[in-house]
Structure 1
């Protein structure tokens, strides 16, 4: 099972793409809770060069609340991660987790409709870039 969906975009730098992603997430009711700069972290911890790569922890509070009410341990699978990584000269890939794949191991039918809705919202984010 594929665990993510992605789209390539052209931009001059990763911060431009991040702004586009943040705006598209906001349109779908998501905010960014966390941000990890992999390039900076790998350089600092391993002194190794790494291409631009951001991990954004996106959360839609309405769906997070519904999921937590249905399955209290679901927090180990939250937030929905979205990555932005450089794949070439002024070309970036934006990838979003597939919540249905991530939640497949959870044996609780109450979250299935939620994962379908969140999947659609994340697909909308990618389509709107």
Structure 2
């Protein structure tokens, strides 16, 4: 089973990040955390490590209503929250890759029927956000 939904867009990296945030917000997701992996690599491993990686941002996103349902059904689901969204662009590429976790991954780890419902709803919303970006 694949654990990611992946698209590639021809948008400049800063615009891809902005539009991704907007598309996610339009589906009820807020950004709880943000990790600039390139900046972290540069700070901890040196500028070459960051430059080799290229732009790489991880957003931890959450739809509060869906998270509440998942945690009520199975408190261990907190280990899988928030949902990660990655935007990355290699140093020599003209496209940006945008990925979301496939929420169906949660279904593989929990027997709670409500988790399956939440995963399906989250999946539908994340795929809608990606579709919006592909059509941008």
The list of structure 1 runs, each at least 4 consecutive aligned residues, that deviate by more than 2 angstroms after superposition, is: 87-90
Match of 2:39 in 1: 40
Match of 1:112 in 2: 116
Residues 69 and 114 in structure 2, CA contact (< 8 A), matched pair in contact too: no
Change (3 A) 1:46 1:102: farther
Counterparts of 1:64-103 in structure 2, within 5 Å, are 64-87=67-90, 88-103=92-107
In the aligned structure 1, how far is the partner of 2:129 from the partner of 2:120?
14
User: Is the helix fraction higher in 1 or 2?
Assistant: 2
> What TM-score, normalized by structure 2, do the two folds share?
0.89
Shift of 1:97: 0.3
Superposition RMSD in Å: 1.2
Match for residue 52 of structure 1 among 47, 51, 55: 55
Shift of 1:98: 0.2
Shift of 1:110: 2.1
The number of aligned residues is 128
Look up the SS of the partner of 1:128 in the other structure.
helix
In the aligned structure 2, how far is the partner of 1:28 from the partner of 1:89?
29
Q: Which runs of 5+ in 2 are unaligned?
A: none
Residues 53 and 86 in structure 1, CA contact (< 8 A), matched pair in contact too: yes
Q: Which runs of 5+ in 1 are unaligned?
A: none
Residue 2 of structure 2 is aligned to residue 2 of structure 1? yes
